[in-house]
Amino acid sequence: MIPAPLKGIFEFSALTGRTLWACVTPPFRWRDVIRHIDTMAVDSLFIICFCVCAAAMVTILEASFHMKLLIQNDSMVPGFAAMLILRELGAVVMALLVTSRTGAGMAAEVGTMQVTEQIDAIRMLGLDPIRFLVAPRFIASAIAGAILSLCANIVCLVAAMGVSMLKLGYTAGAFSSMARPFLSMQDLWFAIIKGTLFCAVIPLFSCFFGFRCRSGAEGVGMATTNAVVATSIAIIVLDFGLSFLFTSFY
């Protein structure tokens, strides 16, 4: 008798493997991919930009306050804040917001299809639910993650520069010159890679729990909750692993 957690890991691994295979073998559902990119990237852009702006402003104000408290000088705040934004803040906050917004919707949609036997109908038509439902969302999420990570990091840096000019008395040139020694183009590429991988796991967990959804409104709600919680944990764990890996390249 296989324990339930171990069985769940095997089933999730099988779902991931089948999804990756469906992503590299025809037929491809490009219309669905484009539609999901629009849903995830375009519709989420405003709220992501708004939230990462707030996070960046809080970060730089708190860093300035504590540096002045400890060393009576906040000249390194632009560099430290910009480095934190690019390496951690932008990609992680973006991914968690996408998880709560789009990931929950995916889990609820697939869970409802499971409860109403639409997935069984897809199988009866001779179609693979993984190729039909999961693969387009996976490709779209990876592409949207790269786009949103780039946008989130740029907006974060602009917001940090703006609050530095308005509150801390720096000019745009001073902020840039102080941040430049701490940053490199490599940081931006790593941020985009993180955003891509973070968002790529969202449809995997959402569809996994959607396929396992039990009947009734309570079952759909539980599947949605489990998907969001599991994805959030996966993003945090993945962030640690990628950050640990990327430190070897600096």
With a CB cutoff of 8 Å and minimum separation 6, the contacts of 206 are: 103, 104, 106, 107, 110, 137, 227, 231
Round to the nearest angstrom and report the end-to-end CA distance of the chain.
Answer: 47
Tell me: the pLDDT tens digits for 110-165? 999 998 888 888 888 888 899 989 999 999 999 999 999 999 988 888 888 888 88
Domain ranges within the chain, ordered by starting residue: 33-249
pLDDT at 196: 94
With a CB cutoff of 8 Å and minimum separation 6, the contacts of 4 are: none
Residue 229 reports pLDDT greater than 90: yes
Q: Give the chain's length.
A: 250
Taken in order 142, 148, 150, 152, is the CA torsion positive or negative? negative
Per-residue b or e along 139-166, where b marks 16 or more CB atoms closer than 10 Å to that residue's CB: bbbbbbbbbbbbbbbbbbbebbbbbbee
State the Cα–Cα distance between residues 12 and 10, nearest whole angstrom: 5
CB 100 within 8 A of CB 229: no
The mean-pLDDT minimum among 11-15, 81-85, 126-130, 147-151 falls in: 81-85
Predicted TM-score (pTM) of this structure: 0.89
pLDDT at 1: 60
Arithmetic mean of pLDDT, 60-87: 77
Dihedral pair phi/psi, residue 127, rounded to 5°: -105, 150
With a CB cutoff of 8 Å and minimum separation 6, the contacts of 142 are: 196, 197, 199, 200
pLDDT at 69: 73
Residue 2 reports pLDDT greater than 70: no
Q: Retrieve residue 213's tokens.
A: 């959804």
Q: What is the DSSP code (8-state) at residue 249?
A: G
State the Cα–Cα distance between residues 138 and 129, nearest whole angstrom: 13
User: Pick the residue with more confidence: 250 or 187?
Assistant: 187
With a CB cutoff of 8 Å and minimum separation 6, the contacts of 64 are: 74, 77, 167, 168
State the Cα–Cα distance between residues 12 and 6, nearest whole angstrom: 10
With a CB cutoff of 8 Å and minimum separation 6, the contacts of 43 are: none
